């Protein structure tokens, strides 16, 4: 069994890396580790890794995931070897051999759970009203300005749950359907200031409930 | 004393800036020291963005050299981009280093590397963001501001701002200077004491010891105030590259750098003697690293970084004496782990394409050649030493091996150039394309593509062409138009050319005198920065700044000097004799060749005798010398 599915955590300064830079960083660590990673053939061979949904810049992750192919069977303990050469803030939590024909992460994962740490909410009444307004609406259109221009996006369908506990906001987000809000956009809608945010898990949400990939 | 660290304040701004990873530090292999526990510290400032600065080998070498000393510390600083700069200014936060997020004013030395004249406005902007007075004579205490890099061979445009210029290769002299800082600080000495004592270190130009003297042709030169300062400051050199320090645990950039690969420096210096080339003069003599040492360094670098490409760096890597052996060795050692070799600078000949073919065993990249000029007459004038046969041998070999995209670099505006020489660029390019179509393997469907980079020649100090003025705006425009007219209709040829105003400003700062300091101050005050970036360059503001100082950059760029004229940079020496440069300039007019001195025949440029050094060539494996 040479194909593995792994879950890794992102914390500290690593959360500021873009998804692409994170990939490069992870691949270099794999090369340093000397593990027998498989490469594609062709003029520009690349490592056979496929990632789950990209992590948003600035947001930590407890269970980011990717699939990785080795050229030969490897020892069960291989993640330890990789962990010694990963940058501070990047760490493999779990790895399991993947059965043949498993659905790819990108195709399977359709749900993300976030924990957003907020600064003290001064006006709780206004905050509760804002959450209610958002959850009661059928559609909620925001404007996103990027270097490429302005876009109007309906983010309502992506928002599954929003629950406040103390100063922690639990956000359940549907992926792969409509556009998803950035954490900063969500904060603007709710009129709150974010201290930090973490994606605690990526899931396959189906008829049988919510499962880890 | 507790070191100040402004990371919490910087962190707060990260969600609201582009590419926040450029401000975080903490890269893999970063060297971290406690600033409170060292005797002297330097903030190494690269006056451009993180992505560009992290591609620069000089930064890596100096960083390694200083941090290898237990009592010394070097941290990195890059120019913040506009969004982060605005946040720093709004919140009154100072510019900071990446390792400990420490304000620049907390260091003993602030050291800039000057790689490009158009980064000078960033030097001033970074000083201002560091909350430092810009002018040297307005700073009476620590930190001192120093500068090195190729542009310091004419330090004058920045001589009002920089306390000490480091001329030549910096890895040894910077340690000497920092040890002096340590001594002076222990004795509670001040800036003036440090400057006085620094006069004894060779390779340092300290402008405050030199007076400004006007010459009869209207320029300002520098002469020593007193007998203490030497009339000419000679460059520093690492005579033996095998013994000099090299970073083997290379820092891995957090965001993709412009050149994001392992950097293996295989030699310094180049003996080809292209007459426009400043690097070819200031890095003389040729010093190649030992083959086995390089093999070992590559092994360690690959293991420490996990990079997928080994870049063989030098001014002309195909010239390295044992280049084939080196590439074979590296491929043998690393291809099984899918690590490739990259040759960033290729010569224009078939041999180089063979090298490229070896390199491509692992990973295939595009090829770049620099014929520099279109006509043989011009190539003789610049002493490029490349014939049309070489050019066709190289490009046909490349196309027949299956490369479909080739980049070609040319220059326009060279001395003695006429419109036929410019037209020859278009003609040559079309013939290369035509020849390529004939040799292209049938199985390759992809159409051939040529990309031309056409730069406007900028005369640089310490070159045989240092006495020549740059072509004027109209002439350069006409030459660009001429090329565009001929090449635009051809779909498979793309032509990129340089902005003329930028080139003329570069030319003015390359050969200008200390009066440009005032222009720079004005341009900075008006908001000029990142002048090398098209999207930020403000020609109108530069125009105003020059006008207000009563100077004209076009005129400075176009200034032609005679042999007997004083030059603004004559107090700085590359140790290549000025008479030899002039002789080369005279030979250029007749297109007479000068041979590469690596082949044994000395062409008497003077560098070896002036520095008591010599060309060092690598020996093949087996007959390795001790």
Residues A135 and A62 in one domain: no
Q: What is the pLDDT of residue A116?
A: 96
Instruction: Choose among B16, B254, B302: nearest Cβ to A17.
Output: B254
- Calculate how close chain A gets to B204, using CA atoms only, in Å: 39
pLDDT tens, position by position, B509-564? 999 999 999 999 999 999 999 999 999 999 999 999 999 999 999 999 999 999 99
Q: What is the pLDDT of residue B365?
A: 61
Mean pLDDT, rounded, of chain A: 92
**Beta strands in B289-349, from DSSP E residues, in sequence order:** 309-313, 340-342
Mean pLDDT, rounded, of chain B: 94
Among B21, B98, B249, the strongest candidate for a mutation testing the A interface, having the largest count of A CBs within 10 A, is B21
CB contact under 8 A, B307 and A28: yes
- How many domains in chain A? 2
Per-residue pLDDT band at B442 (split at 50, 70, 90): confident
Q: What is the pLDDT of residue B622?
A: 56
Per-residue pLDDT band at B11 (split at 50, 70, 90): very high
Residues A48 and A134 in one domain: no
CB contact under 8 A, A28 and B306: yes
Handedness of CA B418, B422, B428, B430 (dihedral sign): negative
Q: Chain B residues with CB inside 8 Å of A36's CB?
A: none
Distance (Å, whole) CA B76 – CA B80: 12
CB contact under 8 A, B19 and A29: no
Q: Chain A residues with CB inside 8 Å of B260's CB?
A: 24
pLDDT tens, position by position, A68-77? 999 999 999 9
User: Does the pLDDT of residue A98 top 80, yes or no?
Assistant: yes
CB contact under 8 A, B306 and A87: no
Q: How far is CA B71 from the centre of its chain?
A: 29
Residues A56 and A130 in one domain: no
| % chain A with pLDDT above 90 | 79
pLDDT tens, position by position, B81-113? 999 999 999 999 999 999 999 999 999 999 999
Q: What is the pLDDT of residue A80?
A: 96
Whether omega before B285 lies within 30 degrees of 0, making that bond cis, reads: yes
Residues A115 and A201 in one domain: yes
Name the residue with tokens 């010394």: B72
Residues A98 and A145 in one domain: no
User: Does the pLDDT of residue B446 top 90, yes or no?
Assistant: no
Q: What is the pLDDT of residue B353?
A: 80
Residues A103 and A81 in one domain: yes
Instruction: Choose among B27, B256, B337: nearest Cβ to A31.
Output: B337
Q: What is the pLDDT of residue A145?
A: 86
Among B81, B259, B305, B308, the strongest candidate for a mutation testing the A interface, having the largest count of A CBs within 10 A, is B308
Cβ contacts from A onto B, under 8 A: 75
Per-residue pLDDT band at B626 (split at 50, 70, 90): very low
| 3 state SS of A125 | helix
Under 8 Å CB-to-CB from B140, ≥6 apart: which residues?
A: B190, B191, B192
The pLDDT of B6-35, averaged and rounded, is 95
**Interfacial B residues in 57-116 facing A (CB < 8 Å):** none
**Interfacial B residues in 403-442 facing A (CB < 8 Å):** none
Q: Chain A residues with CB inside 8 Å of B81's CB?
A: none
Instruction: Choose among B20, B26, B305: nearest Cβ to A57.
Output: B20
Q: Which residue of A has its CA nearest to B359?
A: A43
User: Does the pLDDT of residue B315 top 90, yes or no?
Assistant: yes
* Of the listed ranges A124-138, B142-156, B419-433, the one predicted with least confidence: A124-138
pLDDT tens, position by position, B480-489? 999 999 998 9
CB contact under 8 A, A28 and B14: no
Q: What is the pLDDT of residue A18?
A: 95
Greatest alpha-carbon pair distance for chain A in Å reads 60
- Structure tokens that stand for B417 in this block: 């150039």
CB contact under 8 A, B306 and A30: yes
The pLDDT of A84-97, averaged and rounded, is 96
Q: Which residue of A has its CA nearest to B262?
A: A28
Q: What is the pLDDT of residue B358?
A: 81
Report yes or no: A89 and A15 within 8 Å, Cβ to Cβ. Answer: yes
Residues A83 and A121 in one domain: no
pLDDT tens, position by position, B226-269? 888 999 999 999 999 999 999 999 999 999 988 888 999 999 99
- Structure tokens that stand for A196 in this block: 């930090």
Distance (Å, whole) CA B115 – CA B532: 11
CB contact under 8 A, A87 and B27: yes
Concatenate the DSSP letters of all residues of B423-474 into one string.
HHHHHHHHHHHHHHHHHS-TT--SPPEEEEEEEEP---TTSTTTTSPPPPHH
CB contact under 8 A, B306 and A21: no
For A178, A197, B4, B23, the CA distances from B7, given in Å and listed in that order, are 36, 18, 9, 9
Residues A90 and A123 in one domain: no
CB contact under 8 A, B28 and A16: no
CB contact under 8 A, B337 and A34: yes
Q: Chain B residues with CB inside 8 Å of A44's CB?
A: 363-364
Distance (Å, whole) CA B399 – CA B404: 6
CB contact under 8 A, B338 and A39: yes
Q: What is the pLDDT of residue B621?
A: 62
- Structure tokens that stand for A35 in this block: 């593990």
CB contact under 8 A, B28 and A28: yes
User: Does the pLDDT of residue B454 top 80, yes or no?
Assistant: yes
Interface residues from chain A to B (CB-CB < 8 Å): 12-13, 16-18, 20-21, 24-25, 27-34, 39, 43-45, 57-58, 85, 87-89, 147, 184, 194
Which of these three, A91, A107, A123, is where a domain ends? A107
CB contact under 8 A, A44 and B15: no
Residues A88 and A21 in one domain: yes
From the list B592, B572, B573, B570, the residue with the least C-alpha distance to B583 is B592
Residues A131 and A202 in one domain: yes
Q: Which residue of B has its CA nearest to A87?
A: B28
Distance (Å, whole) CA A190 – CA A185: 9
Which of these three, A63, A90, A107, is where a domain ends? A107
Domain ranges in chain B? 7-202
CB contact under 8 A, A28 and B305: yes
- Calculate how close chain A gets to B302, using CA atoms only, in Å: 7
Q: Which residue of B has its CA nearest to A26?
A: B306
Report yes or no: B140 and B495 within 8 Å, Cβ to Cβ. Answer: no
CB contact under 8 A, A20 and B256: yes
Backbone angles phi, psi at A172, to 5 degrees: -100, 125
CB contact under 8 A, A21 and B337: no
Residues A61 and A114 in one domain: no
B299 touches chain A (CB under 8 A): no
Q: Chain A residues with CB inside 8 Å of B15's CB?
A: 58, 184, 194
B4 touches chain A (CB under 8 A): no
- Structure tokens that stand for B422 in this block: 């410019």
Name the residue with tokens 């003609």: B427
Distance (Å, whole) CA B394 – CA B397: 5
Instruction: Choose among B20, B28, B255: nearest Cβ to A87.
Output: B28
CB contact under 8 A, B21 and A30: no
Instruction: Choose among B18, B256, B338: nearest Cβ to A45.
Output: B338
Q: What is the pLDDT of residue B347?
A: 84
B622 burial (CB, 10 Å; 0-12 / 13-18 / 19+) is exposed
Backbone angles phi, psi at B150, to 5 degrees: -60, -35
**What is the domain range of residue A19?**
3-107
Name the residue with tokens 């930064």: B59
The pLDDT of B345-366, averaged and rounded, is 74
The pLDDT of B221-229, averaged and rounded, is 92
CATH of domain B7-202: 3.40.50.280
Distance (Å, whole) CA B51 – CA B259: 8
CATH number, residue A193: 3.30.70
B255 touches chain A (CB under 8 A): yes
User: Does the pLDDT of residue B2 top 70, yes or no?
Assistant: no
Name the residue with tokens 């970074």: B126
CATH number, residue A17: 3.30.70.580
Report yes or no: B147 and B126 within 8 Å, Cβ to Cβ. Answer: no
pLDDT tens, position by position, A31-79? 999 999 999 987 778 899 999 999 999 999 999 999 999 999 999 999 9
Q: What is the pLDDT of residue B364?
A: 56
Which of these three, A65, A89, A107, is where a domain ends? A107
Residues A88 and A131 in one domain: no
CB contact under 8 A, B24 and A85: no
- Calculate how close chain B gets to A194, using CA atoms only, in Å: 10
Q: Chain B residues with CB inside 8 Å of A56's CB?
A: none
User: Does the pLDDT of residue B273 top 70, yes or no?
Assistant: yes
Distance (Å, whole) CA B303 – CA A26: 15
């Amino acid at each position: 069994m040479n194909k593995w599915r792994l879950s890794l955590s992102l914390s500290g300064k690593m959360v500021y890396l873009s998804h692409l830079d994170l990939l490069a960083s992870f691949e270099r660590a794999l090369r340093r580790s000397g593990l027998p990673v498989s490469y594609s053939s062709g003029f520009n061979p690349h490592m056979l890794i496929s990632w789950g949904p990209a992590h948003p810049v600035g947001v930590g992750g407890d269970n980011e995931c990717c699939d990785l192919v080795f050229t030969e069977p490897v020892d069960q303990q291989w993640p330890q070897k990789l962990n010694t050469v990963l940058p501070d803030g990047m760490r493999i939590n779990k790895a399991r051999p993947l059965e043949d024909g498993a659905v790819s992460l990108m195709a399977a994962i359709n749900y993300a759970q976030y924990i957003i740490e907020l600064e003290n909410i001064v006006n709780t009444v206004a905050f509760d009203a804002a959450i209610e307004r958002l959850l009661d609406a059928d559609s909620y259109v925001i404007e996103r300005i990027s270097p490429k221009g302005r876009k109007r996006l309906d983010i309502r369908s992506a928002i599954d749950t929003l629950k406040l506990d103390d100063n922690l906001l639990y956000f359940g987000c549907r992926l792969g359907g409509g556009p998803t809000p950035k954490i900063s956009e969500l904060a603007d809608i709710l009129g709150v200031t974010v201290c930090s945010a973490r994606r605690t898990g990526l899931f396959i949400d189906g008829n049988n409930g919510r499962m880890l990939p | 004393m507790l070191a100040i660290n402004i990371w919490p304040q910087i962190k707060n701004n990260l969600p609201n800036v582009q590419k926040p990873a450029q401000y975080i530090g903490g890269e893999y292999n970063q060297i971290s020291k406690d600033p409170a526990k060292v005797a002297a510290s330097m903030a190494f400032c690269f006056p451009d963005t993180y992505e560009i600065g992290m591609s620069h080998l000089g930064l890596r070498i100096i960083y390694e050299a200083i941090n290898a000393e237990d009592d010394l510390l070097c941290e990195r600083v890059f120019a913040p981009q506009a969004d982060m700069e605005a946040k720093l200014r709004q919140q009154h936060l100072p510019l900071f280093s990446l390792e400990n997020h420490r304000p620049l004013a907390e260091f003993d030395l602030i050291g800039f590397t000057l790689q490009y004249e158009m980064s000078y406005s960033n030097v001033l902007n970074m000083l201002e963001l560091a909350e430092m007075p810009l002018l040297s004579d307005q700073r009476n205490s620590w930190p001192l501001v120093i500068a090195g890099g190729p542009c310091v061979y004419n330090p004058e445009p920045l001589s009002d701002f920089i306390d000490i210029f480091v001329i030549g290769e910096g890895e040894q002299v910077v340690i000497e200077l920092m040890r002096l800082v340590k001594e002076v600080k222990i004795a509670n000495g001040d800036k003036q004491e440090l400057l006085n004592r620094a006069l004894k270190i060779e390779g340092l130009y300290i402008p405050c010891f030199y007076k400004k003297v006007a010459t009869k042709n209207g320029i300002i030169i520098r002469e020593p105030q007193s007998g203490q300062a030497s009339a000419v400051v000679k460059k520093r050199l690492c005579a033996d590259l095998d013994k000099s320090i090299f970073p083997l645990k290379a820092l891995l950039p957090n965001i993709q750098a412009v050149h994001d690969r392992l950097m293996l420096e295989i030699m310094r210096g180049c003996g080809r003697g292209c007459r426009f080339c400043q690097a070819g003069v200031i890095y003389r003599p040729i010093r190649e690293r030992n083959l086995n040492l390089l093999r070992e360094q590559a092994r360690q670098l690959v293991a420490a970084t996990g990079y997928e490409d080994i870049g063989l760096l030098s001014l002309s890597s195909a010239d390295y004496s044992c280049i084939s052996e080196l590439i074979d060795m590296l491929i043998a050692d690393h291809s099984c782990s899918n690590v490739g070799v990259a040759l960033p600078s290729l010569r224009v000949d078939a041999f180089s394409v063979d090298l490229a073919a070896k390199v491509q065993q692992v990973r295939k990249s595009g090829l770049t050649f620099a014929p520099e000029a279109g006509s043989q007459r011009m190539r003789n004038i610049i002493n490029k030493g490349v014939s049309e046969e070489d050019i066709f041998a190289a490009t046909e070999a490349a196309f027949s091996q299956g490369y479909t995209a080739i980049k070609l670099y040319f220059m326009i505006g060279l001395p003695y150039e006429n419109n036929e020489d410019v037209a020859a660029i278009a003609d040559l390019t079309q013939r290369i394309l035509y020849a390529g179509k004939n040799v292209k393997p049938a199985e390759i469907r992809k159409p051939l593509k040529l990309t031309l980079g056409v730069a406007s020649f900028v005369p640089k100090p310490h070159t045989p062409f240092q006495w020549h003025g740059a072509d004027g705006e109209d002439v350069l425009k006409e030459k660009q138009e001429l090329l565009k007219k001929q090449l635009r209709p051809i779909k498979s040829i793309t032509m990129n050319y340089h902005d003329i105003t930028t080139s003329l400003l570069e030319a003015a700062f390359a050969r200008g005198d200390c009066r440009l300091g005032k222009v720079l101050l004005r341009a900075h005050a008006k908001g000029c920065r990142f002048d090398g970036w098209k999207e930020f360059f403000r020609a109108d503001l530069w125009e105003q700044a020059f006008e207000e100082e009563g100077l004209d950059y076009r005129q400075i760029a176009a200034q032609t000097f005679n042999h007997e004229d004083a030059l603004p940079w004559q107090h700085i020496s590359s140790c290549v004799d000025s008479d030899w440069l002039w002789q080369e300039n005279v030979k250029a007019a007749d297109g007479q060749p000068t041979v590469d001195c690596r082949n044994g025949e000395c062409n008497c440029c003077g560098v070896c005798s002036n520095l008591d050094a010599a060309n060092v060539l690598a020996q093949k494996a087996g007959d390795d010398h001790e």
